[in-house]
Amino acid sequence: NLLAGGSVAAFMATMVATFVNFAPLGVVLVAMMGLGVAEHTGFINAALRSILSVTPKMLLTPVLVAVGILSHVAVDAGYVLVIPLGAVIFYAAGRHPLAGIAAAFAGVSGGFSATLIVPSSLDPLLAGLTQEAGHILDAGLTVNPL
């Protein structure tokens, strides 16, 4: 029982180690700090305006979905970075921010680990699992993450 006294105490005792050793958290925290600095200095606003000036409004949704699909190259930071940026981009273009959130979420979730050209960070893990499963049929099978 995870709600028993001993289990809760063990959870609390190892909470800091669990937080520190969770590898994706470091990437996301650093990316969010960089995003905060970029937002505070006005860089994101200027970049969004320049992107919006060359992207036709008809292509805004497909471009945002493609960015969501490609976001898995940077580990799983797409959920934290691309989805809020989708709202900001749509708002800056005069569209409803919830539509931007929906489009970005569709790209990030629908294209989970389905990056174009560049392998994602999940591919080596899945290749290892596939290789172990493939050894059932062929002991000499080697699976390449690409």
Instruction: List, for residues 20-42, the tens digit of each pLDDT value.
Output: 777 666 666 776 677 678 778 87
Q: Is the model's pLDDT at 72 over the cut of 90?
A: no
For residue 139, tell me if it sits in a domain.
no
Domain that holds residue 49: 24-115
Please state whether 112 falls in left (phi above 0), alpha (psi between -120 and 50) or beta: beta
Residue 73 lies in a domain: yes
The 3-class secondary structure across 19-51, one letter per residue, is: HHHCHHHHHHHHHHHHHHHHHHHCHHHHHHHHH
132 lies in a domain?
Answer: no
> In terms of Cα–Cα distance, which of 103, 111, 41 is closest to 72?
111
Task: Measure the CA–CA gap between 136 and 131, rounded to whole angstroms.
Answer: 9
Cβ(101)–Cβ(86) below 8 Å: yes
- pLDDT tens, position by position, 80-135: 788 888 898 888 888 999 999 999 999 888 877 776 666 666 777 777 788 888 88
Cβ count near 43 (within 10 Å): 13
Q: Give the chain's domain count.
A: 1
- Whether 77 contacts 63, CB under 8 Å: no
Does residue 85 fall inside a structural domain? Answer: yes
Residues 6+ apart with CB under 8 A from 51: 89
Kindly report, residue by residue over 74-91, the tens digit of the pLDDT: 666 678 788 888 898 888
In a domain, 107, yes or no: yes
State residue 61's pLDDT score.
Answer: 92
Residue 123 domain-assigned (yes or no):
no
Evaluate whether residue 17 is within a structural domain. no
Residue 140 maps to a domain:
no
